[in-house]
Amino acid sequence: MTETTRAAHSGLLEQLGVEIDPELLVLALTHRSWAYEQGGVPHNERLEFLGDSILGQAITIELYRRHPDSPEGELAKRRAGVVSTVALAEVARTIGLGQHIRLGRGEAASGGADKASILADTMEAVFGAAFLSAGHAAAAQLVLRLVGPLLDDPGRTGAALDPKTALQEVAAARGLGAPSYELSATGPDHARTFTAAVLIDGEAVASGTGTSKKVAEMAAALAAHELLTTAPGAPR
């Protein structure tokens, strides 16, 4: 089982750079929808609870060290942006986490592998598994290696915290029209997946998905914000 698990997740383990116990890794990647279909086997929510604490502590300490003159309110705002669902989901996508998550059939069919909430929760569970496998220092280093880069970009941190406002501000600064959103939904009522397209001057510039209209719009706004701030020649 150990070698099989390592082989199945070798790419992910290489991205993480931390030796994680195979059974804990599998648990971290097990969504409750999969566990329910398997008769109620353990899932990753306890590890998620642990990982959330590891994440928050590592980011808090790093912010305290990096910004010795910043007041509490500014530090709290920066931390909130970095540990937000949208920001963590973005980090998870950069390491291809979604393809490794064990999802129930319905959740998988509705695009669960790319839902911001599932990606963010699983990312936290992985941090928890890293803590139990390799210790506090290794887990904190993993957090800073993956999430730390967002601390270097205050504008992006703010965008992750409130992407719709951030997008509206950058659109106004560029003399563009106010962003608007078009929503669609798929899946049964109890497991809807929402897709939001953000339009600027009547043109769709980005899209995002989520388990709620709000999360989908936030994901779309963050993608559009990145496009406008990193690509000067982006569509108008």
- Tell me whether residue 48 is annotated as binding: yes
Place of tokens 């695009």: 111
* Annotated catalytic residue, options 90, 107, 124, 217: 124
220: nearest Cα among 193, 197, 236: 197
* Annotated catalytic residue, options 52, 62, 114, 162: 52
First to last CA, the chain: 52
Q: Are 107 and 22 in contact (CB under 8 A)?
A: no
Asked if 52 is an active-site residue, the reply is yes
Which DSSP string do the residues of 71-116 spell out, in sequence order? -HHHHHHHHHHHTSHHHHHHHHHHTTGGGG-B--HHHHHTTGGG-H
Compute φ and ψ for 67, nearest 5 degrees: -125, 70
Residues 6+ apart with CB under 8 A from 32: 43, 44, 45
Compute φ and ψ for 48, nearest 5 degrees: -60, -45
Rg (CA), the chain: 18
* Enzyme catalytic residues: 52, 124
Which residues are annotated as part of the binding site for Mg(2+)? Answer: 48, 121, 124
Q: Detail the residues annotated as belonging to a binding site.
A: 48, 121, 124
